Chains A and B, each alone.
Chain A
Amino acid sequence: MKFIKIYPVIFLILLLSGCFGKEPNDISYAIAIGFDKAADEENYNITLQFAKPTQISGGDSEKGGSASPQIVEDVTVEAPTLYSAVNLADSIVSKHFFLSHVNLIVFSKEVAEEGIGDIMETLSRSYDIRPNVYMAVALEGAHKYLSEIKPVLEVNPSKYYQLTYEANGAGGLPKSIIEEFYFMENLPDVDSVIPIAGVMKTSDDETEEPESGDSERQDGGEEQETEKNLLQPRAPVNNEGFEFKIKEYIAGEVALNETNKSESMGMAVFKKDKMVGVFSGIESELYNIMSGEHRDLFISFEGMSNQPVTVLLRDAKSPRINVDIKNKRVDMRLYLESDLYSIPTEDRVEEYVDKFEMKAAEDIEKACKKLIKTAFSEYDADILGFTRKAKRKFLTYHDFIDSNIAEDIKNYDVDISVDFSVRRTGLIISGEGNM
């Protein structure tokens, strides 16, 4: 009788403890996916960037990690959907592609402008793609951006994406993950933004033929780096008070000399699932401040000597937004505080700190209003979700939809008041008026 009880246990131990299906060694882990328009308008050129575990620190090599270009490899195939691309890519690479480690989805500008609703539906329906995968729009093309990824500090490219797009101190980028984007594109009360990824321009790019939708190919990440002349960034200088004298960069224009030519800066504005415009890094900072996603960030304001004064800006409280439907008015209040970090030698901010605070508050207010106006007038997009905030003024969802406020909100007056204060001055308090 005892044996009869033990047999099933032995049976289970022997048969159920193994791996059914695929062994980890049979799997290729994709870490990023890129969507470009194919020559055949109906299809996409889908780039699957996968990690080579043997090259990453702790892999088979037992020598530590390899240099970053050898860590990842790209496969580009032409296919109508993501999973048909995975199918095709499986026949190129010996292993089966597994998408649960994907950290970044990149869309080319053309794909984004045409609409990414179908792709988002696939990504959200998929059980293996995580809902917190980051998204970006690459203005020069998704494949180009991914092929230029050569992390300098990170051995693990997944970590590179995570650190770059988690907005860890990178104020010039909004945070966008597929779950939130899927929500926003299906909601009538808010529009969304996605970070812009770019590739640093070189003189070779000027003469390069535009990339056509070529057929299936495999790009080695091991190609030799050639010397290219880096172009001087062409971004205009901002002479407004907020981020005074900082250039209005968009990804691809920021770095002057880098091994890793891929960079991220600015944001693409989406009206539902279609990209409708672009904002610079400075405007992304403002967006982060107004949406409450802002973290500690160095911001330059215009000082009294017409020189930039740099402060560390942080949220004192979350922004408050109130929508007054009767008077067609949106009131936004921002609570910010700062520490002085960099002051020109001839300037003594400490002596006129009240004036400086007032001026900085005005500059932020002015810049925020300009951004909101541009979003509504040029892109017809409610990126800050004012309509969403108006929902609490209605009793039922039908009342809310019938009010047509989503269309009307762009005609509302937006009033922004900024509560800005300087808290600390670093290790120096200059000026004699502070005794």
Chain B
Amino acid sequence: MLRKKELTSIIINAIHTKMLLTYPRSVILNSGNAAWIQLLYNFAVALVIFFVTITAYRGKRGLIELADILGGKALRIVTGVLIAVILTLNFVSIIRIFPETVKIVLLQDARLELITAIFVIAIIIGAYAGIESIARVHYLFLPIAGVMLFVFLIMLLPYYDMDNIMPIFGNGAKSIFLSGFNSISLFSDMLLLYVLVPYAQNLDEVKQSGTKGILIGGGVSVIIILAYCLTHPYPVSGEFMVPVYQMARMIHLSSFFSRFEPFFQFVWTILILLYSSLYVYVISCVWQTTFRLKYEKPLIIPIALICCEIAMLPESVINGIEIQHKISISAYPLSFAVPLVYALLSGRRN
């Protein structure tokens, strides 16, 4: 069983981890330095969708069990496979972009295969520890990451310039509110919450954890992108591959303190490892529940390796980022629609 705080920590990390990689760049490219407004808008929409879904949700059952009750074996398998595919698509981009980024900024001489192999081994070890351990480490580590983020934002104070977020509506209201709707995909990891319902004490805790998770995770994401917009003028802000790392690089408080990246890289790596272990474990659980298998642990290694193989399909990091963007746009409607449909059906069934 997961405690409420642990479930909240999982959701916070799941939401904001993408902000640590290439995600902010895609938001900036869409709406300019009004990206923070776009994310604020996505945050509000995601919160509304979550409230509607969780209010309609009945019973302490995960989505796959609900599908089984509502439509029998066939619907269970269809739903299970669909959820597994959405989660895999959500996750494979991380498994590719993270090692690529590590190679660029940390281990330039190491081979990508070696970095990926070490990363996957760490994910497998984490996933083997099980959901309780993953959740507990999330709960223990997130406050450390929070303090680090606070220090980071304070150290950036000399670089904030209000002129950088002007004109206030960036590329225009149409970009922010129409094409910008797609970046609600940041919150598509909320799907995890509906899969993890059976691990919570009751539905009320799921509701509270989800609300807190979106508020804190979404809030942190908006703050990160606002800090980036305040420190980097548009259109140059759309050029940097890993915006958060770029901000960490710019910190230079005279000769007193000038290299914040090691602190950042430490937190960054652990958060992404936690996120990845969680995903591999949850995908294994989804397969196990879908096909009524006795154990989920034997699935961890194959799933991690399959995800790794899929992640390595794009030839270059440019293709990887392009595909990631396309995947997030095509997969996110299902991440919200599937739980919403089952939530509505669960109420009718009850």
Q: Is A395 an interface position by the 8 A CB rule?
A: yes
As a 0/1 sequence over residues 396 to 422 of chain A, the CB contacts with chain B under 8 angstroms (1 = contact) are 111110000000000000000000000
Q: Which residues from chain B contact A159 at a C-beta distance below 8 Å?
A: 255
Min CB distance A194 to B, Å, is 18
Interface string of B126-166 (1 = CB under 8 A from A): 00000000000000000000000000000000000011001
A388 surroundings in chain B (CB, below 8 A): 163
Q: Is the CB of B236 within 8 A of A186?
A: yes
How far, in angstroms, from A385 to B255 measured CA to CA in the complex?
28
Closest-CB distance, A384 to chain B (whole angstroms): 12
Question: Is the beta-carbon distance between A399 and B167 smaller than 8 angstroms?
Answer: yes
CB distance from A82 to the nearest CB of B (A): 16
* Proximity string of chain A (187-212) to chain B, C-beta cutoff 8 Å, 1 when within and 0 when not: 10000000000000000000000000
A window 329-349: CB within 8 A of B: none
Q: Are A183 and B108 in contact (CB under 8 A)?
A: no
Question: Which residues of B223-240 have CB atoms within 8 Å of chain A's CB atoms?
Answer: 232-236, 239
Q: List 9 A-B contacts (CB under 8 A).
A: A131-B249, A179-B250, A388-B163, A391-B163, A392-B167, A394-B167, A397-B33, A397-B172, A398-B172
A127-159 at interface with B (beta carbon < 8 Å): 127-128, 130-132, 159
Contact (Cβ within 8 A) A397 B104? no
Closest Cβ of chain B to A361, distance in Å, is 27
A398 to B162, CA, bound (A): 18
- Contact present for A391 and B166 (CB under 8 Å): yes
Are B104 and A127 closer than 8 Å at their CB atoms?
A: yes
Query: A385 to chain B: closest CB distance in Å?
Result: 8
How far is A20 from B106 in the complex, measured between Cα atoms in Å?
A: 12
Which residues 102-134 in B have Cβ within 8 Å of A in the complex?
A: 104-105, 108-110
Q: Which residues of A contact B62 (CB under 8 A)?
A: none
Residues of A within 8 A of B180 (CB): none
B-chain residues with CB within 8 Å of residue A236 when the two chains form the complex: none
The chain B residue sitting closest to A390, CB to CB, is: B166
A396 partner, pick from B109, B163, B170, B236, beta carbons under 8 A: B170
Q: Which residue of A lies closest to B107 (CB)?
A: A20
B166 touches A392 (CB 8 A): yes
Q: Which residues of B contact A399 (CB under 8 A)?
A: 167
Specify which chain B residues have a CB less than 8 angstroms from the CB of A186 in the assembled complex: 235-236, 239
Chain A's closest residue to B258 (CB) is A132
Task: Please state if A397 and B234 are interface contacts (CB–CB under 8 Å).
Answer: yes
CA distance A400 to B109 in the complex (A): 44
With contacts A394-B167, A396-B167 known, what are 15 further pairs, Cβ within 8 A? A20-B109, A20-B110, A127-B104, A128-B108, A131-B249, A131-B252, A159-B255, A179-B250, A183-B232, A183-B236, A187-B236, A389-B163, A392-B163, A398-B171, A399-B167
A131: chain B residues within 8 A (beta carbon): 249-250, 252
Count the A-B residue pairs with Cβ separation under 8 angstroms: how many? 65
Query: A166 touching B167 by the CB < 8 A rule?
Result: no
Within 8 A of B (CB), among A102-143: 127-128, 130-132
Please name all residues of chain A whose beta carbon is closer than 8 Å to the beta carbon of B177 when the two chains form the complex: none
With A132-B250, A166-B254, A183-B233 given, is the CB distance from A395 to B167 under 8 Å?
Answer: yes
Give the chain A neighbours of B234 by CB distance below 8 A. Answer: 397
A400 touches B235 (CB 8 A): no
CA distance A179 to B254 in the complex (A): 15
Query: In the docked arrangement, what's the CA distance between A20 and B167, Å?
Result: 48
* A154 to B: closest C-beta gap in Å: 12
A182 CB–B CB distance under 8 Å: yes
* Residue B320 lies at the interface, judged by CB distance under 8 Å to chain A: no
Is A162 part of the binding interface, using a Cβ–Cβ cutoff of 8 Å?
A: yes
The reply on B310 being an interface residue by CB < 8 A is: no
Whether a CB of chain A sits under 8 angstroms from the CB of B169 is yes
Indicate if A18 sits at the interface (CB-CB under 8 A): no
A127 touches B105 (CB 8 A): yes
* Cβ–Cβ contact B104 & A391, under 8 A: no
Kindly state whether residue B32 has any CB partner on chain A within 8 Å. Answer: yes
Chain B window 300-320, contacts with chain A (Cβ cutoff 8 Å), 1 for yes, 0 for no: 000000000000000000000
Q: With a CB–CB cut-off of 8 A, which chain A residues contact B162?
A: 392
A389 to B168, CA, bound (A): 13
Query: Are the CB atoms of A162 and B32 closer together than 8 Å?
Result: no
Indicate if the CB atoms of A397 and B171 lie closer than 8 Å: yes
Q: Which B residues, 62 to 116, have Cβ-Cβ distances below 8 Å to chain A?
A: 104-105, 108-110
A397 & B170 in contact (Cβ 8 Å cutoff): yes
- Also in contact, A396 and B172, with CB within 8 A (given A130-B249, A186-B236): yes
Most chain B beta carbons < 10 A, residue from A186, A389, A398, A399: A398
How far is A187 from B233 in the complex, measured between Cα atoms in Å?
8
Shortest B126–chain A CB gap in Å is 14
User: Which A residues are CB-close (under 8 A) to B166?
Assistant: 391-392, 394
Interface residues of B in 161-206 (CB under 8 A from A): 162-163, 166-173
B162: nearest residue on chain A (CB-CB)?
Answer: A392
Cβ of A426 under 8 Å from chain B: no
Q: Are A396's CB and B171's CB within 8 A?
A: yes
